[in-house]
Each structure stands twice: as structure tokens, then as C-alpha cells.
Amino acid sequence: MLKYIFKRILIFIPTLIVISLLTFVISINAPGDPVETMLNQNVGGEGRSGEKLASEKTYNEKRKELGFDLPLFYFSFTNKTYPDTLYKIPKKAHRETLQRLSYEYGIWKNVSTYYQALRALEFKVFEIMPSDENSSKLRNIKDNLNSLYLTHNENEIKQIIETVEFDIFKDSNIKKTVETDFFELKNSFEHLIYNKKIINRYIPTIHIYGFNNQYHNWISNFIVGEFGISYQDKRPVSSKIFDALKWSMILSILSIIIAYIVAVPLGVKSAVDKGKTSEKIITTGLFLLYSLPNFWIATMLIQYLGDGDGLGWFPTHGLGELPKSAPYWDRFFETAYHFILPLFCLTYASFAFISRQMRGGMLNVLEMDYIRTARAKGLKKQVVIWKHAFRNSLIPIITLFANIFPAAISGSFIIEVIFSIPGMGQLTLQAIFQRDYPIVFTVLMFSSILTLVGILIADIMYAFVDPRISFSNKKS
């Protein structure tokens, strides 16, 4: 048995690696620049060159602190146009443009020269003291240069460069300072577009970056329990998630327990009473319950039983607001009262599902010969059902646990959102809308791990219930 559990946990590892890779790929493709979100500011744009330098410095420091200045992965497998030193460019938006430019024209070195020229020109422009007559022109130039960082379309770039040229040459003061740098930019761009090497796109290349990369750091921090810092309130993700996980786990586990307690007797009863009118009503009712979307039921319950415009029987928002100083039992009952509706919404679908399965399993067993034998030798009906049939029909129900557990986790997601319970669901949804990705990806990893654990528990329980299954002796 122990050996089997150990083997199962070994299988977890590749699964978790795949999930972590998936999570990582999603995270690096997430829109927005995490460093900028952290700093809550847009670097560049207005201000003098000194301020710009200072803000770029804070940006770079933050970037280094968060570990975003490292290569993404252990290696990269791309085409030859892919810049191997791209990760050294600080800003995410700039990196995307440069990568695209490099793809379009095929030679990273030229793109790099163009980028350096652009930066040099921008610094020169920022050094000019704005005065009354040139301030609007300066702002135009700055805006245009900024948009150059984000454009990869050849015609657009040409147009922007022309506009900048027009602005620069109208003012002799500006012209004097930035002329050489401007021509450098223009030449470097022309050099870029006239030396196209599209064949590079089709040459596969591998770069090796070693262990000091973003994925490696992220996953090794994850393993030791450091999940990063929330972009929004700068609290550690772990403390936020554990606060939320508490409520989600209470909800899910309570719902699973209640579902089993209600569903098993109901399933047995409907199997034993097969053919009676009462059984038909129960079966149809269960089928309908199973198909009812729980977010619909939740909305309806809030509307008709909730404390807004409904009958006012149940609270529909949060978990109650008694202060921590209130007596424990008062707080307990307040929370329990708030739990009734969400718990109901979370439970009915799974209990309908379980009792339908229970009914099916029971019907199968009741047809067996040994049940007829037991009845024939004069055992009471109740004894036969509970002692002979019930235990054997439990097996499929227990394997269902592997399905029910993940379903309960994701089910509680919606229910928490609707009833404003501060669990994982609400946390994740808020994080998504606020683009707080460290939370989103930690939640994704965590729910995968919980799902894996659920499957493992189901497997172990399976072995306990059915002595015919023995994992330790089986060789496979």
C-alpha cells in the first residue's frame, strides 16, 4: 500500500511540471508589464532627462528585485531571428516590438543598433530645456519617439520618423542639439530595412541559458513556499491565499460530506423501491437537480429568499460582520447562518449526481445471485440491503470522490463570487480583473495540486473498500 502511494506521488511530479510549465507560459503571455504595475507608474513620457534617468533606474532596480531581468527558461528553441539577449531590454512592451522587428528583418544586430540610436536620440531630446515657444514641439517629439518603441510596421515607422524630422527641423535650437542623433536613427532604420534577411526566420536555433532563469527561480521559490508578492496591496501571496483557502476548503469539504450523507440513503432507497411512483418522482427530481446550473439557482435564491427584495430569510452577502471580540459561538452561528444558501447551491448538484450513481450501483448489485440467495435463506429485507448489497455497491461511489473533489473546488469558485464569500474564488476573480497575476498562477497551481490529492485519496479509499484490489502486489 505504502509502495503504491509512493508510486502515485512519483507520478505527480511530471504532472506538476507540465502544469507549472503551462502556468508559466500563460503568465509570461499575460498582458501588461508587471514591473510597471508594481511601481504604479508609467516610466518615461514627461519630465527632464534627470528625472527620466532616475525613474528608469527605479524601474530597473524593481525589475532586478523581481527577477525579471533573467532569461525566461533553461533554453530557447526558436528561429535565428530571435534575439538571444532580448531579456536584457528592460521594458516588456519594447521587447515585444524589438522581437517583432527582428523577425520581420531577420538580423538582430541591426535592430539592436536601431534601438540604441532611438534611445540616444530620446535622451538628447529630454536634455533640452523646454521653453515657451518649443514646449509643444518637444512634447510632440517625445510622444512620437515613445510610439516608435511600440511600432513594428515599416510604413508607420517611416511616417513617425518623418513627423519627428519635420518637428526637429522647424526649431533651430532643437535641431542643433539632436541633429546627429536623429540622422543616426534614420540611417540605422534604413540600414535595417535594406538589409533584410528573411531566410533567418527558417533556421532553427537553440540557445542555452543555464539555471539562472525566471522559471527556475519561480518554481524553486514555489516549492519552498514563497509565492511572490501581490501586485495590488504588496502582501505576500501565500498569506492572502491561505486566508482565502480556509473558507473554500470549509465550503467544499462540508458540501462533499453533506452530499454523501444525503445522497447515499436516497440512492439506496430509490434502487430498492424501483418501479414505485415515489421512486420515479425522486429519480426525475434528481435528474433535474443534476442539470440545474448552480449559478442560476444561486441568483434565484438570492432574489427570492435573500435579505434584499426577497423574503429576507437568509443573508446573501459575505460571512457576517461580528467583531472578533464577540463570543465564539455567536460568531460561529452567524457564519453558519451565512453558509446555508451557498452550501445548498454547492451541494445539490453533487448529491444528485452521487445518488444517481448510487442507485445504478445498487441496482446492479441487487440483481446478483447472492442477493437472491440471501433473501431465499430468509434474511430480512433490511439486512440484505444494508449488509449484503450496500457495501458492495459503495465501490463506484467512492471512486466518484476523485470527480467530486475537483468539482467542489471549481464549483465553490462561482458560489463564492455570487455570495461574496472571501474564498479562493473571489480572490482569483478580483486578481484577474486587477491583473494581479502572481495570485492567479498560485491559485492555478494550488487547485491542480488539490485535484491531484483528491484523485490520490480516491485511489487509496478504493483499495480500502474493495479487498480484491491490492496495489502492493500488483506489478504494472
Partner 1 sequence: MNLFNLFNRRKNREANTLILQNNNESYWKIVRQQFKKNKIAVYSLRVVFIFIFIALFADFIANEKPLVAKYNGNVYFPVMKEYAVDLGFSDWHDEFRNVSWRGLKYDWVVWPPVPYLPRNIDVSNTWVGPFDDQNVESTRWKHWLGTDDLGHDVLAGMIHGTRIALLVGLVSMGIAAIIGIFFGAVAGYYGDEKLKMSIISILLYVIGFILAVFYAFGTRSYALADAIGSSFGSFMWEFLLSILLFIAIIYIFKLIASLAKKLPFKVKEISIPIDILISRLIEIVVSIPQLFLIISIAAVVAKPSIFIVMVIIGLTTWTGIARFTRAELLRIRNLEFIEAANALGYKEWRIIVKHALPNALSPVLIAIAFGIASAILIESTLSFIGVGVPAETITWGSMLSKARAVSSAWWLAIIPGFAIFITVTIYNLIGEGLTDAMNPKLKK
Can residue 18 be called a binding residue for partner 1 (CB under 8 A)?
A: yes
Q: Which position among 409, 421, 438, 459 is part of the footprint of partner 1 (CB under 8 A)?
A: 409
Can residue 123 be called a binding residue for partner 1 (CB under 8 A)?
A: no
The helix or strand, by DSSP H or E, that contains position 102, with its residue range, turns out to be helix 92-105
The CA distance from 103 to 89, in Å, is 16
The CA distance from 243 to 235, in Å, is 12
The CA distance from 422 to 425, in Å, is 8
The residues in 440-459 that bind partner 1, with binding defined as CB under 8 A, are 440-441, 443-444, 447-448, 450-452, 455
CB hemisphere CA count around 438 (13 angstroms)? 26
In a 3-state reduction of DSSP, which class is residue 336?
helix
The residues in 147-176 that bind partner 1, with binding defined as CB under 8 A, are none
Can residue 389 be called a binding residue for partner 1 (CB under 8 A)?
A: no
Joined grid coordinates for residue 177: 542639439
Contact by Cβ (8 Å): 39, 160: no
Can residue 308 be called a binding residue for partner 1 (CB under 8 A)?
A: yes
Q: Which of 127, 110, 28 is nearest to 71 (CA)?
A: 28
Start-to-end Cα distance in the chain = 14
The CA distance from 37 to 437, in Å, is 10
**Per-residue contact track with partner 1, 59 to 88, x per CB under 8 A?**
------------------xxx---------
Can residue 218 be called a binding residue for partner 1 (CB under 8 A)?
A: no
The CA distance from 193 to 191, in Å, is 6
**Angle subtended at Cα 303 by Cα 297 and Cα 308, rounded to the nearest 5 degrees:** 145
Residue 23 CB, nearest distance to partner 1 (Å)? 8
Judged by CB under 8 A, which stretch of 166-174, 212-220, 235-243, 414-422 contacts partner 1? Answer: 414-422
Judged by CB under 8 A, which stretch of 8-16, 132-140, 333-341, 460-468 contacts partner 1? Answer: 8-16
The residues in 357-386 that bind partner 1, with binding defined as CB under 8 A, are 363, 367
Whichever of 51 and 367 has its CB closer to partner 1, that residue is 367
Binding site for partner 1 (CB under 8 A): 11, 14-15, 18-19, 22-23, 26-27, 29-31, 77-79, 100, 103, 201-202, 204, 274, 287-288, 290-293, 295-296, 299-300, 302-303, 306, 308-310, 363, 367, 406, 409-410, 413-414, 417-418, 428-429, 432, 437, 440-441, 443-444, 447-448, 450-452, 455
